[in-house]
Amino acid sequence: MKATGIVRRIDDLGRVVIPKEIRRTMRIREGDPLEIYTDRNGEVIFKKYSPMGELNTFVSQLCDSVTKTTGASCVICDRDSVIAVSGSAKRDVCDRSISEDLEHIMEQRRIFRPEGRVVSLTGDPRYAVSIAAPVIAGGDVSGCVALLRDEAHPDAGEIESKLLQTAANFLGQQMVN
């Protein structure tokens, strides 16, 4: 665990303020869910909660299915990081933080096609998004399903668009149930 040197007191309602620097570094926004753990040493640990992470095995299988259908690398992200990858990019991007561009794309709540501009998955230009569909669960954006661009799959068409929308909608429904 990394020491920050920051000390905060608990108020009379049992609340503690997480410092702005830590919230910014960990991409914790107002309304984000946090899991609270304790360990044997008496430490209290806050961890960002990812509802998509709860479906880890299922998400990986869905990602594999999309890649088998399209031939392109498929990526499924929560709001902060890549949680499942299938295809050639698997080793390089799994568990990496997503780019701010992709974060903004998800917040727009609609299917995204780059149309001439390059949007990187993780900040690395080698992994550009060809198409992305937001996963919406209970009215909140929880992540996205995306295909990566490569020489064999430079642009996604209407069929890929419908497939990603279906996968994203299905994931959203699984998270609500």
CATH code of 111's domain? 3.30.450.40
169 and 127, same domain (yes or no)? yes
Residues 159 and 85 occupy one common structural domain: yes
Judge whether residue 169 has pLDDT over 90. yes
Q: What gap in Å lies between CA 66 and CA 70, rounded to an integer?
A: 6
Residue 127 and residue 45 in one domain: no
Q: Which domain holds residue 17?
A: 1-49
Q: What is the pLDDT of residue 44?
A: 84
- Ranking 49-58, 69-78, 116-125, 166-175 by mean pLDDT, the lowest is 49-58
- Same domain flag for 69 and 94: yes
Instruction: Give residue 5's region: left, alpha or beta (phi > 0; psi -120 to 50).
Output: left
CB half-sphere exposure, 30, CA atoms < 13 A: 0
| 92/149 same-domain check | yes
**What pLDDT digit, counting tens, does each position of 35-55 carry?**
888 888 888 888 877 766 667
Q: Where residue 10 sits, what CATH number does that domain have?
A: 2.10.260.10
pTM of the model: 0.74
Q: Are residues 87 and 169 in the same domain?
A: yes
Looking at the fold, whether 33 and 99 belong to one and the same domain comes out as no
In terms of Cβ atoms closer than 10 Å to its own Cβ (0-12, 13-18, 19+), residue 66 is buried
Both tokens assigned to 79:
């709001």
- How many domains would you assign to the chain? 2
Is residue 5 located within the same domain as residue 75?
no
* Confidence category of residue 154, pLDDT binned at 50, 70, 90: low
Please tell me whether residues 82 and 156 are part of one structural domain: yes
User: What's the residue count for the chain?
Assistant: 177
Q: Which residue has the higher pLDDT, 43 or 91?
A: 43
**Same domain for 81 and 36:** no
Q: From the centroid of its chain, how far is CA 62?
A: 15
